[in-house]
Chain A
Amino acid sequence: MIALRGIYVIWLRELLRFVREPARIVGMVAQPLLYLILVGNGLAHGFQFRGTGGVNYLAFMFPGIVAMSVLFTSVFSAMSIVWDREFGFLKEVLVSPVPRAAIAVGKALGGTTIAVVQGAVILILAPLVGISLRAGMYFGMLGVLALLALALNGLGILVASRMESMQGFQVVMNFLVMPLFFLSGALYPLKGMPTWLAALMQVDPVTYGVDALRHLVYAPGQILTALTQFSLATDLTVTLATAVLLITVSTLAFNRAKSA
């Protein structure tokens, strides 16, 4: 009971903070747009694309960019737990009767909610890159994004519970977040990659989220077969399993982390 209240407080606080920061809301739409317009257009016009089966590159990249925004938002939101534990509100929660596990879970749910709201906004832009949006597809994709966000929030909290300060932030950014993005198949398809690269891509949990999104975007047929690697069932199972695993492990790790 007290644990549920704790989860609720942490979750509600994340949301209140989010709506109070207009800059964050603008930024969350601006960043993926930058990638689409500047990177996407550049690549689409500069190179002949082999694997896209006649789909324009922007439409290929779009699900990847949505996953990217969920990736960045989730990991950063989860990692703010480090600051918060040292200086902020969380310190006050740590001395309350609320169990620590509730803090980790509340934080993960808060971060997930924000990431999904962000995804919902970006998905509305789909028609701009030539993807026609249907309601079933839209909500299906939100479901996939929620699973992906849960997994990545878990990852962020896991990393954060091993960090004592934000000094390691750049390292996490360069050696965890960016590789997860590059290897996810967001920018190029898994099919036809050299073995070593394909192997790395298959280890990246984000790959399965991106793959699932592509299943939902393209109608069954040649294009779908060309652009996806796994079956939708595999994608969902792996993403769900990763989410459950990472949330569990991160909660345990946060429980053991040194308090401020």
Chain B
Amino acid sequence: MPDRIVVENLVKRFGTIEAVRGVSFSVRPREVFGFLGPNGAGKTTTIKMLATLLVPTSGKLYIEGLDVVRQRQEVRRIIGLVFQDPTLDDRLTAWENLMFHGLLYGLSQAETRRRAMPLLEMVGLADRANSLVRTYSGGMKRRLELVRGLIHTPKVLFLDEPTVGLDPQTRSQIWQHIQQLSHEHDTTVFVTTHYMDEAEHCERTAIMDHGQIVALDTPEHLKQLLGHEEIRLTVRKEALHERPRWEDRLGQRFSGSGPDLIFKTHDAGADVTRIVEVIGPSIQRIEIKRPTLEDVFLHLTGRQIREETVSAREAWREFGRRRMGR
């Protein structure tokens, strides 16, 4: 199947600042594709160019074979977008918000209702469809926006930091919905996040830093970039004298001292059974330590992902959100 999103050598300059510096990648149909990086890495700029909101300085962008710059209106019909800040009208009911969305994409009210009901059911909002959105919690608004983004059955759904500002439980709920939705509809989900743990939910993840993609692969493969996993075990003290024999049979030395041993490997899943065979009942406890994407990011960029300091613009947005009662 041809790729659904194709990006070639994408560049965006704002004055002298190069926000996106020559990015290329492609995304397959029905894939959940993650864009991971600290604030200011160029994620939002990239997503805005893909979603027709910003014109690139140079480079090529295609969605379903359509040129995103030249065929903007056609592209808009087949994409959906959920922004960082809610764009619901909170003085209207959930249903009215969905109905307006349907109208904007050429759907009749009956058709919008037919499509919306099962989706609302799924995200648990069916019984609140006629409540004003201002009575919704942050998580409910997000779920409603997900539903709205799917009403016109887009080929690509862009989610820009969909879980920012939500509590952990709601965040994992949102992710469940994202995965379920992408499987049930023929929809590619393109999601940006600066939460490392969330990138694990994606089928493939691009790590972006300073306007460039520094790595792109499945979360599993990304973690293998670090080269090793660790099997950590504690053995009974009285069996410690057998350590040289164990090392001979395993063909590899342990690191660590005393009863705490560390075994470095590329395939902990397989090696752990060998270790159990060799050491057997002398093992007191055993654990596999896998690198996290946090470790991968640190390894690739030499830095930890950091929270951005609040810029003047952010402060204004915050003021606006409060003032609008959101």
Residues of A within 8 A of B (CB): 2, 5-6, 8-9, 12-13, 16-17, 20-21, 83, 86-99, 165, 259-260
Contact (Cβ within 8 A) B91 A87:
no
Q: What residues on B are CB-neighbors of A88 within 8 Å? A: 87, 89, 324
Whether B104 pairs with A98 at a CB distance below 8 angstroms is yes
Nearest CB of B to A126, in Å: 32
Complex CA distance for A8 and B100, rounded to whole angstroms: 10
Q: How far apart are B318's CB and chain A's nearest CB, in angstroms?
A: 11
Bound complex: CA A165 to CA B318 (Å): 13
CA distance A165 to B52 in the complex (A): 22
Q: Is the CB of A13 within 8 A of B324?
A: no
Whether the Cβ atoms of A93 and B53 lie closer than 8 Å is: no
A97 touches B76 (CB 8 A): yes
Are B103 and A87 within 8 A (Cβ)? no
A89 pairs with B96, CB closer than 8 A? no
User: In the complex the two chains form, is A87's CB within 8 Å of B104's CB?
Assistant: no
A90 proximity list for chain B (CB < 8 A) = 87
B76 CB contacts on chain A under 8 angstroms: 95-97
The answer to whether B96 and A16 have CB atoms under 8 Å apart is: yes
| Across-interface contacts of A86 in B (CB, < 8 A) | 317, 320
Contact A21 B51 (CB under 8 A): no
> CA–CA, A89 to B97, complex, Å?
9
Asked whether A87 lies within 8 Å of B101 as measured between CB atoms, the reply is no
In the bound complex, do residue B105 and residue A96 qualify as a contact, i.e. CB atoms below 8 Å apart?
Answer: yes
Chain A residue nearest to B52 in the complex (CB): A95
Interchain CB contact under 8 A, A20 and B52: no
- Contact of A20 with B104 in the complex, beta carbons under 8 Å: no
When chains A and B are docked, how far (Å) is the Cα of A117 from the Cα of B106?
30
- If A13-B92, A92-B148, A94-B53 are given as contacts, then 17 extra A-B residue pairs at C-beta distance below 8 Å, sorted by A number, are A5-B103, A8-B103, A12-B100, A17-B89, A21-B91, A83-B320, A86-B317, A87-B87, A87-B320, A91-B87, A92-B81, A95-B52, A96-B101, A97-B76, A97-B77, A97-B105, A260-B53
Give Cα A184 to B187, complex, Å.
57
A17 touches B92 (CB 8 A): yes
Cα–Cα distance between A92 and B104 once the two chains are bound (Å): 10
> Taking A8-B103, A98-B104 as contacts, is the C-beta distance between A20 and B77 under 8 angstroms?
no
Q: A17-B92, A20-B91, A21-B91 are in contact. Are A87 and B51 (CB under 8 A)?
A: no
Interchain CB contact under 8 A, B105 and A95: no
Bound CA–CA A8/B51 (angstroms):
24
